[in-house]
């Protein structure tokens, strides 16, 4: 890279703990040369013992992420939103060009001088553009998230099939997911969590033979367009 080429700095906030060695390197591969990531985690500084005490009720918006050691963690939107806002301000002070929230859930608008990208709208737009009619499979990281999901993804002429498997779970869990999806005759499959990796996408695609949207790769391509 020549000296007059500037490196674009992307702030990446995970709702779990940073760094996200399972996801961010894949996204940087999509972005290519000329980019660097500055990572921050909403749960940085929190212990697993503290988070175990967090009460999650039936009416709470459940979110799933991972700790630095790779363990799955479950939190609520109400708990994590103020922590995300704090990390946004910290990244602004570090002079990042754009901020990505590494979660495909829905969030309120955040205060920021920098552009904050929330993946949920990007993913939803891609699905709607790709499949207006047909059979859509949507995979969430936790079964507790499926209750209202059908209403979110249903459209006239589109049949929705929901399933769940943790991106931080076992190989057997992911293989079972791929088998179930293969039996449903789907036209398009969405891995609706930023934690699902390229390897997981390949497993599902090979087993089903159908197009699969990997949320974090899709969002990385949009980030490249926004910053190029």
Note the CATH architecture for domain 121-214.
3-Layer(aba) Sandwich (3.40)
pTM metric for this prediction: 0.92
Rounded percentage of the chain residues whose pLDDT exceeds 90: 94
Rounded percentage of the chain residues whose pLDDT exceeds 70: 98
pLDDT at 198 over 50: yes
Residue 148 pLDDT grade (very low, low, confident, very high; cuts 50, 70, 90): confident
pLDDT at position 5:
60
Fold of 8-119+217-227: Rossmann fold (3.40.50)
pLDDT at 3 over 80: no
In the chain, domain spans:
8-119+217-227, 121-214
Domains 8-119+217-227 and 121-214 fall in the same CATH topology: yes
Per DSSP, the residues of the chain read --TTPPPEEEEEEESS-S--TTTHHHHHHHH-TTEEEEEEETTTT--HHHHHT----TTS-EEEEE-TTS-EEEEEHHHHHHHHHHHHHHHHHTT-SEEEEE--S--PPPP-SSEEE-HHHHHHHHHHHH-SSEEEEEEES-GGGGTTHHHHH-BTTEEEEEEE--TTS-HHHHHHHHHHHHTTT-SEEEE-STT--HHHHHHHHHHH-S-EEEHHHHHHHHHHHHH-
pLDDT at position 216:
97
User: 5-20, pLDDT tens digit by residue?
Assistant: 689 999 999 999 999 9
pLDDT at position 159:
96
More confident site: 4 or 122: 122
Mean pLDDT of 192-206: 97
Q: Please, what is the average pLDDT of the chain?
A: 95
Residue 58 pLDDT grade (very low, low, confident, very high; cuts 50, 70, 90): confident
């Amino acid at each position: 890279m020549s000296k007059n080429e500037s490196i674009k700095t992307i702030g990446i906030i995970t709702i779990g703990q940073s760094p996200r060695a399972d996801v961010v390197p894949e996204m940087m591969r999509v972005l290519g040369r000329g980019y660097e990531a500055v990572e921050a985690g909403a749960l940085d500084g929190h212990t697993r013992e503290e988070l175990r005490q967090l009460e999650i009720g039936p009416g709470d918006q459940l979110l799933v992420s991972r700790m630095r050691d790779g363990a799955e963690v479950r939190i609520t939107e109400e708990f994590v939103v103020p922590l995300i806002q704090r990390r946004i301000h910290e990244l602004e002070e570090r002079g990042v060009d754009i901020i990505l929230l590494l979660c495909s859930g829905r969030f309120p608008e955040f205060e920021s001088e920098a552009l904050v990208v929330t993946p949920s709208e990007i993913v939803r737009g891609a699905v709607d553009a790709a499949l207006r009619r047909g059979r859509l499979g949507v995979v969430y990281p936790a079964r507790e998230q499926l209750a209202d999901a059908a209403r979110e993804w249903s459209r006239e002429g589109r049949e929705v099939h929901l399933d769940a498997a943790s991106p931080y779970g076992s190989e057997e869990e992911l293989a079972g997911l791929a088998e179930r999806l293969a039996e449903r005759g789907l036209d398009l499959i969405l891995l609706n969590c930023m934690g699902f990796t390229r390897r997981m996408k390949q497993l599902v695609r090979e087993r089903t033979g159908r197009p699969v949207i990997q949320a974090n790769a899709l969002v990385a391509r949009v980030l490249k367009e926004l910053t190029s």
